Structure 1
Amino acid sequence: MTDMSSIQEVEPIFDVLSIGRCGVDVYPLQIGKGLEEVTSFGKFLGGSPTNVAVAVARYGNSSATITGVGDDPFGRYICQEMERLGVSSAFVVTNENFHTPVTFCEIFPPDDFPLYFYRSPSAPDLELGVRDIPLESVAKSRILWLSATGLSVEPTRSAHFAALQHRGAASSSSGHWTIIDLDYRDMFWDSPVNARSQVQAALTYANVAIGNREECEIAVGETEPDRAADALLDRGVEIAVVKQGPLGTLAKTADERIVVPVTPVEVMNGLGAGDAFGGAFCHALLSGWDVAEAVQFASTAGAIVASRLECSTAMPTESEVQEMISQNPASAPIVEKRK
């Protein structure tokens, strides 16, 4: 945990800088049981943008998360665990007014994983203000990753837009990427209409958008994957990624349509798959891979984490992902040139 006044003096630059949620995931160690029946739990670092930063670090890249914690034991745990997992805690703000949030889940494989957020009346990451944004690091880090839920309320909404505006329009030609995770959870928003308005405003600064079909409907009013991807491209992004669960992943650019079939695994907990996808996709961009390689790598990483219990500490290494790819030739990308 760092005093933000010192950050403004010398700000480190990272391969990936994420902004948004963090918390403590309290996950049951019994599978297929409701919380009322569970007798033991595991404690893990959580929060989608923080998990993405962990995944990025797992591949050997530098990462940090702009977020907030409470002045409590869980807040100290988060900072210690971030550092242990290779993520800088330089931009973690301690808030004395709100507790560090915790999140419980239930695990009913293969596709039912209810989440229970304890973030009332607010959470420290939702209290981030414009003054908490390390502008130099935001401007110069190679990838800025934002989750749409960070746009849901003030003051964090203004903090996110301050970061986007200071960074300016991203361009792949300069090796800088701004990625919007379309992550939508209705408990964070007052209405889907407001969510669409805020997400579309943020998309004007991004050159990559990633979301599932339901999240695309909130962002651009489309659930059919091709139309959703086209609508995102029309908003100005260079790469639009639509995740379709067991149906695989669709990605589009101005020149290519890419379909990556799902990598078959025995699902244990699907909650971390999207964050694993995001971190792996960032690594692929940093490595200079083409979009098809990036989506295949990310999809495979997501499948690996879906086969494990937790999220942050379940992130795979590059060698694990590549081994899984080699074992699943049927999951190779199908690339079509667009007219």
Structure 2
Amino acid sequence: MITVFGSANMDLVAYVSKAPQRGETVTGREFRTIPGGKGANQAIAAARAGAAVAFIGAVGEDAFGTELRDTLAAAGVNVSLLRRVPGLSGIAHIVVDDTGANSIIVVPGANGTVGGPTGNDRALIAASQALLLQLELPMEAVIAAARAAREAGVPVILTPAPAQPLPNGLLDAVTLLIPNEHEAAAITGTASPEAAMDALLRRVDEAVITLGSEGALYGSSSGERIRVPAVKVQAVDTTAAGDTFAGAFAVAQSEGRDAEEALRFASAAAALSVQRAGASTSMPTRVEIEASQA
């Protein structure tokens, strides 16, 4: 089982030909509300990729909260430890242009109420094959969850987004870091993926830097380096492609696949996701991922 300790947001998505610049107004062609949030996205991605998955987080007492919970449950995710708290659920305002690129504003809502793991949370984490974390919850809560997993001998996989300084107290508990190239540059201060990888591996045992259309780069503190190309597709919407990659990679690792196999499996999943609109709505099933690799 894979446990995700993370955020659940309702994505408010506007589709435009060209994203507005500061002070500019543009006309959109379509608007959708789509369940998302980096934590919920990774949970759904992992469940669809074939894993048993549990989710720990919080939603509000609003209609979005009900829909977020129902969406996770419908994907087969265990939501028994998903809290319902007073107030509004988290939302993400997303603008997607004709190239599939996006810009995102996140308002935490209920996610901001999540504290460190409770006794039941800790028991679930300890029984897991991996714990997936992101940075859309309060940092203190993320650190506490990472430490709980580390103490139980459970691998900790962190997607460091939104990009921000990473405390040593967090990185000391992280097994695998999965930033995209922009997050890796923000963390390390270097734009070169190879140099960024060297810097990351001075702080964690393993890292994967996702490079969009350029593929993904894996490295370990033992000196291993693997680069796989991206699957060439026409992107419609890149929202949650990184979350799809992280969820699928965690599934492949939990099944005992080696790093290159896990990279190729996750890359195939991400390539399928960018060909569809939305976050949770874009994530492929295990059957689809394996068919695309045949």
Q: TM-score, normalised by structure 1?
A: 0.78
Of the candidates 278, 282, 290, which is equivalent to residue 246 of structure 2? 278
1:90 maps onto 2:68 in alignment: no
Aligned partners of 1:148 and 1:221: how far apart in 2? 19
Residues in 1 aligned to 2:67 and 2:10: alpha-carbon distance in whole angstroms? 9
Q: Say yes or no: does 1:296 pair with 2:281.
A: no
Alignment of 1:29-178 (within 5 A): 32=17, 37-38=27-28, 40-96=30-86, 98-117=87-106, 119=107, 122-130=108-116, 132=118, 134-150=121-137, 156-168=138-150, 176-178=154-156
Aligned-partner Cα distance in 2 for 1:77–1:216 = 33
Contact 2:135 2:142 in 1 (8 A): no
Give the superposition deviation at 1:232: 2.0
Aligned to 1:259: 227
Structure ranking higher in helix proportion? 1
Determine if contact 2:117/2:145 at 8 Å carries over to the other structure.
Answer: no
Q: Contact 1:113–1:269 at 8 Å: present in 2 too?
A: yes
Q: CA deviation at 1:287?
A: 1.4
Distance in 2 of aligned mates of 1:226 and 1:66:
34
Deviation at 1:113, TM superposition (A): 1.5
| Kept in 1: contact 2:50–2:286 (CA 8 A) | no
Residue 169 of structure 1: CA displacement?
5.6
Of 209, 212, 215, which residue of structure 2 is paired with 1:248? 215
1:178 deviates by 0.8
Q: Tell me what 1:22 maps to.
A: 8
- Give the aligned CA root-mean-square deviation in angstroms: 2.2
Shift of 1:204: 0.9
Gap regions ≥5 residues in structure 1: 1-14, 151-155, 186-194, 327-339
- The percentage of aligned residue pairs carrying the same residue is 27
Helix, strand or coil at the partner of 2:198: helix
CA–CA distance in 1 between the matches of 2:251 and 2:42? 10
Q: Is the Cα contact below 8 Å between 1:170 and 1:205 reproduced in 2? A: no
User: Shift in Å at residue 116 of structure 1?
Assistant: 3.6
Deviations 1:30-58 (A, max 9, x none): 55376963465333210011111001111
Q: 1:114 to 1:219 in 2, by over 3 A?
A: closer
Cα distance, 1:131 vs. partner? 5.8
Asked if the contact 1:69–1:124 (Cα under 8 Å) also holds between the matched residues in 2, the reply is: yes
Post-superposition shift, 1:213? 2.1
